């Protein structure tokens, strides 16, 4: 009942136009009826089918009731179909005191979203499950899917599914800018490489043929309205899957909107010294495509949190004005805003993060824990930004 009421409420701006239309239809019907009566009384020798069309074989009261019922049914069906179109009043700035009623914004079905990320990033986006038709998370190629199902079991998630890109996990090796090679998952564990960054990635696949993409992963990309990269480690959670030929080609050929959620902080030993442009360039280099949109956190962090990250050789990833190539207009914005274009991607700054309290081991005494404030992507803020972007485009 609530869904019916919500749909019909979209006609609130058309109350008077519909009432006048109804009165006009009634008057038109009376005029047609009078004409028919005149024809019957003055014209002789009418064809037999005219008698059938006008229900002359029925008593007049029954004719009237039957025609009223049919008319009401047709009118109700027409109003119901009309309510399927969202009616939005938009002020006309060029004509003071007048508004335009814009028709044609139809209610679309909730989007199907495919996510490429890993670790906490997938759990952050899983909060969107209630607002989408299907949220399919393709886990990193080196991770078993069981980890994510166990983590998801702690929450009541709807419409969220986890799939693997390949039948079996495949190791990923990173080569740093100094030539050092190691497992991509060990990069953040070695403090001696904190000032380095990744130059190349390799899959540890030794079979005669390239790794095959699973059917579920292929179908999720094929049916997606939007493909979201991140949030998560660029070189550990996002780019490894793009080393799979079939997956990379499927994303590049998909008509779905491709949205990249940029990291909040650089990662020691992985993206040290990277700005927004370097993150986008890495996706273009390894994936062979450029995201349509890039979401960057615009929130400036507190000095205390900044010092904490600086001690760990991390710095915020902000939008640098020197990276701007050009500006464009994002359609659908209530207020016209200029959006930045970098590497062919529209970069949008938004408040996407929140500071949270996290307990970690003390630096001086590992047996003790201490509470520190860290910056994390906010599931509600990020989910709203992604869904709003999909709705606009």
249-275 tens-digit pLDDT = 999 999 999 999 999 999 999 999 999
All residues at 6 or more sequence positions from 328 whose CB lies less than 8 Å from its CB, including other chains: 338, 339, 341, 346
Residue 128 and residue 102 in one domain: no
- pLDDT higher than threshold 70 for residue 11: no
All residues at 6 or more sequence positions from 371 whose CB lies less than 8 Å from its CB, including other chains: 357, 358, 359
Number of domains the chain is built from: 2
Report the C-alpha gap between 242 and 235 in whole angstroms.
Answer: 10
Residue 236 or residue 108, greater confidence:
236
Torsion from C-alpha of 338, 388, 7, 81, nearest 10 degrees: 70
Rounded average pLDDT over 367-382: 80
pLDDT (0 to 100) of residue 352: 93
H or E segment and range at residue 127 = none
Residue 165 and residue 209 in one domain: yes
Report the C-alpha gap between 317 and 131 in whole angstroms.
Answer: 29
Among 20-29, 52-61, 170-179, 275-284, where is mean pLDDT lowest?
Answer: 52-61
Domain that holds residue 244: 114-392
CATH number for 264: 3.40.50.10680
Query: What is the pTM (predicted TM-score) of this model?
Result: 0.71
Among 17-21, 152-156, 324-328, where is mean pLDDT lowest?
Answer: 324-328
Rounded average pLDDT over 224-242: 96
Residue 258 and residue 323 in one domain: yes
Length of the chain: 393
Cα 171 to the center of its chain, rounded Å = 30
Residue 122 and residue 188 in one domain: yes
pLDDT (0 to 100) of residue 334: 42
Report the C-alpha gap between 122 and 113 in whole angstroms.
Answer: 12
Rounded average pLDDT over 355-381: 72
Residue 185 and residue 308 in one domain: yes
Report the C-alpha gap between 343 and 239 in whole angstroms.
Answer: 17
pLDDT (0 to 100) of residue 37: 75
Residue 350 or residue 1, greater confidence:
350
pLDDT (0 to 100) of residue 4: 65
């Amino acid at each position: 009942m609530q869904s019916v009421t919500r749909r019909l409420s979209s006609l609130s701006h058309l109350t008077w136009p519909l009432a006048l239309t109804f009165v006009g239809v009634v008057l038109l019907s009376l005029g047609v009826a009078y004409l028919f009566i005149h024809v019957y009384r003055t014209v002789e020798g009418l064809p037999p089918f005219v008698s059938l069309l006008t229900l002359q074989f029925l008593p007049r009261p029954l004719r009237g009731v039957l025609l009223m019922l049919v008319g009401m049914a047709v009118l109700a069906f027409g109003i119901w179909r009309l309510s399927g179109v969202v009616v939005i009043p938009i002020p006309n700035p060029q004509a003071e005191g007048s508004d335009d009623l814009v028709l044609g914004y139809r209610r679309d079905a909730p989007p199907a979203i495919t996510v490429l990320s890993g670790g906490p990033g997938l759990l952050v986006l899983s909060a969107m499950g209630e607002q989408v038709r299907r949220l399919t998370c393709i886990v990193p190629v080196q991770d078993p899917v069981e980890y994510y199902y166990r983590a998801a079991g702690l929450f009541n998630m709807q419409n969220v599914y986890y799939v693997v890109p390949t039948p079996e996990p495949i190791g990923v090796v990173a080569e740093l800018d100094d030539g050092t090679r190691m497992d991509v998952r060990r990069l953040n564990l070695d403090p001696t490489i904190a000032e380095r960054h990744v130059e190349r990635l390799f899959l540890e696949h030794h079979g005669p043929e390239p790794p095959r993409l699973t059917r579920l992963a292929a179908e999720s990309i094929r049916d997606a309205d939007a493909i979201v990269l991140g949030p998560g480690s660029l070189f550990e959670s996002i780019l490894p899957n793009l080393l799979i030929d079939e997956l990379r080609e499927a994303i590049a050929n998909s008509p779905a909107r491709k949205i990249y959620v940029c990291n909040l902080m650089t990662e020691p030993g992985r993206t040290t010294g990277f700005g927004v442009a370097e993150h986008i360039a890495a996706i273009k280099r390894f994936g062979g495509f450029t995201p349509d949109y890039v979401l960057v956190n615009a929130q400036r962090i507190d000095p205390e949190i900044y010092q904490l990250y600086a001690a760990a050789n991390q710095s915020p990833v902000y939008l640098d004005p020197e990276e701007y190539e050009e500006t464009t207009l994002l359609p659908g914005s209530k207020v016209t805003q200029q959006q930045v274009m970098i590497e062919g991607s529209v970069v949008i700054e938004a408040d996407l993060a929140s500071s949270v309290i996290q307990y970690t081991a003390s630096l001086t005494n590992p047996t003790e824990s201490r509470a520190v404030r860290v910056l994390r992507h906010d599931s509600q803020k990020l989910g709203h930004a992604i869904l709003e972007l999909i709705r606009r485009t």
